[in-house]
Structure 1
Amino acid sequence: MVKTASKNIRHLSITELEQYFEAIGEKKFRAKQVWEWLWQKGAQSFADMSNLSKDLRQKLGDNFFLPAITMDATQYSEDGTIKTRFKTHEGHLCEGVLIPTDSRNTACVSSQIGCSLSCRFCATGYIERKRNLDFDEIYDEVVLLNKESEKIYGKKLSNIVFMGMGEPLLNYKNVLKAIERITAEDGLAMSPRRITVSTAGVAKMIKQLGDDQVRFKLALSLHAANDTKRNEIMPINETNNLKAIVDALNHFYKQTKNEITLEYILFNNFNDSKKDADELIKIYRQVPADLVNIIEYNPIDFAKFEKPSEERMSEFMSYLEKNKVNARLRHSRGKDIDAACGQLANKG
């Protein structure tokens, strides 16, 4: 009978690895070698671990598996944005995006395969959620996008945003564990201040982030500043209304003092009037937000929404600025390869 390895080696702690090597009569330092391959050198298989003997690599393969995410397809935008479709060990697909600017190279990563929230304007919301990504798979996305950044642009990632496929706070433990590994000295050693987690508004878990004293930034995908309109485009609002979200964001800030950003996509003749701006200003004044990102809408096949005219967007921005709102109009990158905000749908 053939024994099938069932334990993911990256789910072991360094101590557990040391115990394994001692149990098979190997020196304890082998654990550190393997740990470096897993978390710093980006090994995608045991065969990559070139400073281990062939016999030892065979033993690892017999006892553990290493289900690393691989790059399945890559698309290059005219504006320099790179979209990568990743494949999991069992063949599921998710996407990540590398967004380069003069001052930073940002990785936009996914936390789930598909999404369960069904936001009406988002392509991912029309894909069934297959499963959560494990923390090591999220870590792989960052490692692979970092390699792309170094290969194409000659510099490492400077920032990470959890704004890809899925709702990060519905995969809470894996997202936090991934960030722990990304920020660890024996991981990618990235500052948590350079990481932003975006949520559609899971109030209970926003409060939990505060209680867990996380050190990364938080972004709320707001997109409508009254409950009626938000219910229409974001069904999650029916169980997490704006009052609950405002309370949760205030709790988060009180506990962490971390930066909060409000994200607001403008939809033509839906949330782009002066009245809508007034409602947005009201929310902004109830929350300790550093910034409101006004985002131009990127049309998708399934949705009826349209982008407002440049003039209408400019008027909306001017009104916010006149009312002392720290707002920035964000032009989306990678639209020509369906890599822009709300467009990720494994079309590749």
Structure 2
Amino acid sequence: MMKKQNIRHLSLSQVQEVFAEMGEKPFRAKQVYEWLWLKQAPDFESMTNLSKPLRAALEERFTLPSIKVDTTQQSTDGTIKSRFRLHDGHLVEGVLIPTATRQTACVSSQVGCSLSCKFCATGYMDRKRNLDFDEIFDEVALINKQALEQSGKKLTNIVYMGMGEPLLNYKNVLQSIERITSPEGLAMSPKRITVSTAGVAKMIKQLGDDQVRFNLALSLHAANDRKRSEIMPINETNNLKVLVEALNYFYKATQNEISFEYILFKDFNDSVQDADELIKIYRQVPVDLINIIEYNPIDNARFQKPSPEVTDEFMAYLGKHRVNARLRRSRGKDIDAACGQLANKA
């Protein structure tokens, strides 16, 4: 028996070829393609402008796996965390972060993660598999639907900052962005999309070679190699010197926005000396912004959040040295939806 193929892994021209073989009119292929991406049909049965025999023939020949919302939790600040169930039973989480001016989706790119960052709940999970590009697209489409239901406004921004390391699922992440930005998809500007990486230097350069049009965020979190290797094992093979070089290569090739993410940990990376080291790295890369992030507690991790006074001093020191830095208040902490907290906990 022939193994069924996921129909969404075919291009429009491939769908047209299949329909020609089936003796169907060319416009039918276009209709199906619209159902797959523009209308996000969950199954063939929903494609109501196709005849029943055609729907049955597609069902027989193809699969149309779609992800489903398993559970949702709403924070007191309006943040919505969803746990999505994939077709094979695996679970990933995504978050809708609404503010007065933005509707941001934070999406996952892997089931679990292989990088073991010490401050991140996902880092304590095993990596089970990569998400396919259509699964990442579905996450965004479902969060967009939530935004519309919640506020009547569609998504304005997408950040690949959920579970997993996006650059270790390179092909699917790029294909998902291609689909999200396509007129046949969600028609979102790539400038509204940010991919965050723990620092895979080789793939950062590859982004430059591929002339991508989205923004890049580096999860920095410590500005010297000793400290960074202590909390992010990836730094042992992708140290700061190598990352600085890769980021400059990326910027030269694309001119896209680069930002740093820097979580403040009490008595670890929150001193004036740490701020000086951060400024030094900031001066070596054309960084648009440093997001200073409040630490969100997780099980297993020994870190704590610095006092408001220490945080204010750190921010003031950066400001005095003309560093474009912003303190990012965590959203969705009460439902484990904040930065570093995603771990499929109900």
The TM-score by the shorter chain falls in which range? over 0.9
Partner SS, residue 294 of structure 1: strand
What is the aligned partner in structure 2 of residue 320 from structure 1?
318
Q: Given residue 33 of structure 1, which amino acid in structure 2 is its aligned partner?
A: Q
* Shift in Å, 1:263: 0.4
Do the aligned partners of 1:5 and 1:61 also contact (CA within 8 Å) in 2? no
**Counterpart Cα distance in 1 of 2:223 and 2:51:** 60
What is the aligned partner in structure 2 of residue 294 from structure 1?
292
Partner SS, residue 249 of structure 1: helix
**Counterpart Cα distance in 2 of 1:296 and 1:260:** 20
- Choose from 65, 68, 71 the match for 2:69: 71
Matched, 1:126 2:124: yes
What is the aligned partner in structure 1 of residue 10 from structure 2?
12
- 1:182-261 residue pairs with structure 2 within 5 A? 182-261=180-259
Partner SS, residue 301 of structure 1: coil
**Counterpart Cα distance in 2 of 1:6 and 1:55:** 18
Partner SS, residue 204 of structure 1: helix
1:96-141 deviation line (CA, Å, top 9, x unaligned): 0000000010000000000000000000000100000000000000
**Counterpart Cα distance in 2 of 1:152 and 1:53:** 35
Partner SS, residue 74 of structure 1: strand
What runs of 5+ residues in structure 2 fail to find an aligned partner?
none
**Counterpart Cα distance in 2 of 1:316 and 1:6:** 56
Structure 1 segments of 4+ aligned residues over 3 angstroms from their partners: none
**Counterpart Cα distance in 2 of 1:151 and 1:53:** 31
* Shift in Å, 1:4: 6.0
1:283-313 deviation line (CA, Å, top 9, x unaligned): 0000100000000000001100000000100
**Counterpart Cα distance in 2 of 1:155 and 1:104:** 9
**Counterpart Cα distance in 1 of 2:43 and 2:126:** 30
**Counterpart Cα distance in 1 of 2:2 and 2:110:** 27
What is the aligned partner in structure 2 of residue 265 from structure 1?
263
TM-score by length of structure 2 reads 0.99
What is the number of residues matched between the two proteins?
346
Q: Given residue 16 of structure 1, which amino acid in structure 2 is its aligned partner?
A: Q
**Counterpart Cα distance in 2 of 1:328 and 1:21:** 53
Partner SS, residue 157 of structure 1: coil
1:141-161 deviation line (CA, Å, top 9, x unaligned): 000000000011111000000
**Counterpart Cα distance in 1 of 2:56 and 2:194:** 39
Q: Given residue 215 of structure 1, which amino acid in structure 2 is its aligned partner?
A: R
Partner SS, residue 204 of structure 2: helix
Partner SS, residue 75 of structure 1: strand
- Choose from 39, 60, 82 the match for 1:62: 60
**Counterpart Cα distance in 2 of 1:223 and 1:182:** 29
1:69-113 deviation line (CA, Å, top 9, x unaligned): 111110000000000000110100000000000001000000000
* Shift in Å, 1:5: 4.5
What runs of 5+ residues in structure 1 fail to find an aligned partner?
none
Partner SS, residue 55 of structure 2: helix
What is the aligned partner in structure 2 of residue 104 from structure 1?
102
1:51-78 deviation line (CA, Å, top 9, x unaligned): 1111111111110001111111100000
TM-score by length of structure 1 reads 0.99
- Choose from 161, 164, 184 the match for 2:162: 164
Q: Given residue 22 of structure 2, which amino acid in structure 1 is its aligned partner?
A: I
What is the aligned partner in structure 2 of residue 48 from structure 1?
46
Q: Give the superposed CA RMSD.
A: 0.7
What is the aligned partner in structure 2 of residue 179 from structure 1?
177
Do the aligned partners of 1:226 and 1:279 also contact (CA within 8 Å) in 2? yes
**Counterpart Cα distance in 2 of 1:160 and 1:106:** 5
**Counterpart Cα distance in 1 of 2:310 and 2:2:** 61
Do the aligned partners of 1:37 and 1:43 also contact (CA within 8 Å) in 2? yes
- Choose from 84, 104, 120 the match for 2:82: 84
* Shift in Å, 1:6: 2.2
**Counterpart Cα distance in 1 of 2:90 and 2:4:** 19
Percent of paired sites with the same residue: 72
1:155-214 deviation line (CA, Å, top 9, x unaligned): 100000000000000000000000000001111110000000000000000000011100
What is the aligned partner in structure 2 of residue 344 from structure 1?
342
